[in-house]
Structure 1
Amino acid sequence: MNSQSTPVHIRLWHREFWLMAIANFLLAMSVYILVPTLPRWLLSTQHLSPMEIGVAMGAFGLGLFLLGMFVSFLVQHFRRNVVCIWAVIAVGALTVLLYYLNEQRFQSCDFQFIVIQRFALGAVFGLAQMVLTSTLIIDTSESFQRTEANHSAAWFSRFALSLGPMTGLLLDRLMGFSIVLLSAVGCAAVAVLLIMMVHFPFRAPQDDVPTVSLDRFFLPHGFPLFVNLQLIMLAVGILFSVVLSEMFYAMMMVGFLAALLSQRFVFRNAEVKSEVVSGLILMIAALLMLITRTQQIVFYAAPAFVGFGLGLIGSRFLLCFIKLSRHCQRGTSQSTFLLGWESGIAWGLGLGYALFYGDSDRAFVTSLVLFVVALVLYNFTHNWFCTHKNR
């Protein structure tokens, strides 16, 4: 099968699925709202150097991998929704720590404390997202609807990638960083309430589940796809480290909506390869515009191209991971995609602040080179995928 369009089942969009999808959106919002605002606070109020900010932002990406190997054990030995709820509560609690520091007007935070806070936030956010996407969302769907459920729920967190930073920048400008932090905590709190509103029947735990395993954590035979996705998101993270414009993220949302429509009408029966290639070409074009042009239209078109490209790439890579998974590995494929997406952004942000702070041209050129490398690599990755897919 060289093309694929995800079917639409109206019965998928029942109350429980809506609650889980919105919870997924709010959980992502609670983290993305800090992407452009936290580094600015650390620089201006806490007087950390750009290198230290880069390390702190990158620590989030490392934390994402910390608890993944325990996900299978946790959801088998404890109520899966309870595991997710406590992980989301921990996301909120760690953000409250930053609010406390800001309200106490500490002139200088300990650098190690900020790094540990970011690392821990990445760990609990990764755990919450893995349980939510690999288990809870799947459990609210019929077996024949699960690919569509994964595809649709991922769009909600993708929307948060534009709406989160845009909201954070807007709130920071109008009301201050304290309100940004309270908004992040509020998003996490509402996500907890939504998860609690869904009933998940009790399942007897399996006795032979190891404490540490790759189940629901990482798909080893998807590693080439994982590397290719990380290259792309690394470039996106570097781009985000120099973009502090509300309009940029607003136009990204326009691009996301265009990508969503194009998948339904333009790429419906197109070659699978066409979406990722088209997405990368759009993002390369966006970077070329940012590097070589200064007209006002560029600051509207370039972020729309980035959103359009990211929407196409994210949807296609997710479906590729699902197609690579073997029996009972759907949840593992979800977590692998999540790790590649989120850690790439975190490490890109870290590199952007540590190496390119104050030099947007070098950051744009580096992102451009990474996108070109990812495009060349994808031509080999796609052929490998076609040979190894299982669905």
Structure 2
Amino acid sequence: MYTVSTAKLWTSNFVWAYISNFLLFVSLYMFLPILPMYMVAKFPSTTLGEAGIVLALFAGAMFLVGPFYSYIIDTYKRKDVCMFSFLTVIAIVGGYSLIGCLFWMAVLRIIQGALFGITTATSSTVAIDITSTTRRSEGNIHFNWAGRLGMAFGPMFGLLLFSFSDLQTVLYASIAAGFAGFLCMAIIKVPFRAPIGAKAFSTDRFLLSRGWVTSGNLVLISIIFGMLISTINVYAASINLQYVTIRFFGAIGFGFILAMIANRVVFVEADFRARIVSGLILIILSLLLLITHYNEISLITSGVLIGLGFGLAASDFLVLFVNLSEHCQRGTANTNYLLAWEVGVGIGVALGCNLVESGSYMIVFQVGIIFAVIALLYFLLFTTKHFVKNKKR
């Protein structure tokens, strides 16, 4: 799974990049479990389903600037572009509490999503630039793990603050975490890269031509994560276990850490199929547990299984993307991976909120199982064959 090399991976530059990526995702995922209900309360005519759709615009907006990634990264200093977009993304968080209607919330989400796409594309490129050429595949994986951990611990921190205060405090904390990530990025020393004359409009640094099949599979998986992250808080409140939601996201983070250990110990010699299939089975089991049991222990156990399942499956999907890319396309593979993940999360947020509004919380978990089964069959029937046929390394 990892390239063996004597070159040092965890340089001071890479550590700062890792922390910066972690804090970026902590900042933006911190308010996701809270924001749908806040929007319904602040804008009286807004339904939960409409709130979910507005939140999902964030992911769709990444396509607006995606074709220009290659030109932006090649023409301008990538670290400078990253810092500008990073800071703007965080500043927009402060606007959430100032707007007076749903339309302007939608506008903010679109602008923020577009800038987030630029931030992640440039930050992953910076991470590649500061990593030894012999360890860039491994560096890619570790760098993305930082974001994955931020997705779990961000909601936990946000819900913890919200339990003692209000959304305004959560937004302030989000800005503070994001600004700390910005400062970490500012510390990094990036080597000079001469421009190569990239086209103004290109899929390079955006979409991997051999990644469509893999992207579809990852979208199916991340839809489940989006559904859970946007509805688990209100579900727990409906069964008088809202105080457990904080522990639930902490359990997901713990599950992610277990997945990191499992990749190094249990699955170190295993084929990628074993890790992804095991991960999807664990996700199915976690959703079945949510459907059949309604207590604190089952909720926390489900969180651990979710973290372990997504940790095993999602990390290997990044490996698939990287191995489908040419040597000079690692940045494109990274961006395509994150794009597919965020699109799935966006769809999941919108779908989860609409399912809760039109039915019950159980429907969310049942639909999640359906998506997990489809993703598993898709992986076995299509993704594995496509990967074996088209892999570059």
User: Could you tell me the TM-score, scaled by structure 1's length?
Assistant: 0.94
Match in the other structure for 2:226: 237
Q: Give the whole-Å Cα distance in 1 for the aligned partners of 2:60 and 2:325.
A: 24
Q: Note the 1:1-391 alignment, pairs <5 A.
A: 4-5=1-2, 7=4, 11-47=8-44, 48-101=46-99, 109-133=100-124, 135-207=125-197, 209-244=198-233, 245-357=245-357, 359-380=360-381, 381-391=383-393
Match in the other structure for 2:240: none
Structure 1 residue matching 2:319: 3-state secondary structure: helix
Retained in 1: the 8 A contact 2:130–2:191? no
- Residue deviations 1:268-300 (CA, integer Å, cap 9, x gap): 001210000000000000111111223442112
Q: Give the whole-Å Cα distance in 1 for the aligned partners of 2:364 and 2:342.
A: 19
Of the structure 1 ranges 305-314 and 355-364, higher mean CA displacement relative to structure 2 is found in: 355-364
Residue type of the alignment partner of 1:175: S
User: Could you tell me the TM-score, scaled by structure 2's length?
Assistant: 0.93
Query: How far has the Cα of 1:202 moved from its partner?
Result: 3.2
Task: Name the CA shift for 1:296/1:99 in 2 (closer, same or farther; >3 Å).
Answer: closer
In structure 1, stretches of 5+ residues that fail to align are 102-108
Q: Give the whole-Å Cα distance in 2 for the aligned partners of 1:225 and 1:60.
A: 22
Query: How far has the Cα of 1:200 moved from its partner?
Result: 1.9
Q: Give the whole-Å Cα distance in 2 for the aligned partners of 1:255 and 1:366.
A: 22
Q: Give the whole-Å Cα distance in 1 for the aligned partners of 2:90 and 2:271.
A: 42
- Residue deviations 1:77-114 (CA, integer Å, cap 9, x gap): 1111000011111101211111434xxxxxxx322111
- Residue deviations 1:217-273 (CA, integer Å, cap 9, x gap): 111211000000000111221122221111110111111111111000000001210
Query: How far has the Cα of 1:343 moved from its partner?
Result: 1.5
Query: How far has the Cα of 1:197 moved from its partner?
Result: 1.1
Retained in 2: the 8 A contact 1:169–1:246? yes
Residue type of the alignment partner of 2:320: C
Retained in 1: the 8 A contact 2:355–2:363? no
Q: Give the whole-Å Cα distance in 1 for the aligned partners of 2:3 and 2:189.
A: 27
In structure 2, stretches of 5+ residues that fail to align are 234-244
Retained in 1: the 8 A contact 2:7–2:134? no
Aligned length in residues: 379
Structure 2 residue matching 1:212: 3-state secondary structure: coil
Q: Give the whole-Å Cα distance in 1 for the aligned partners of 2:168 and 2:277.
A: 41
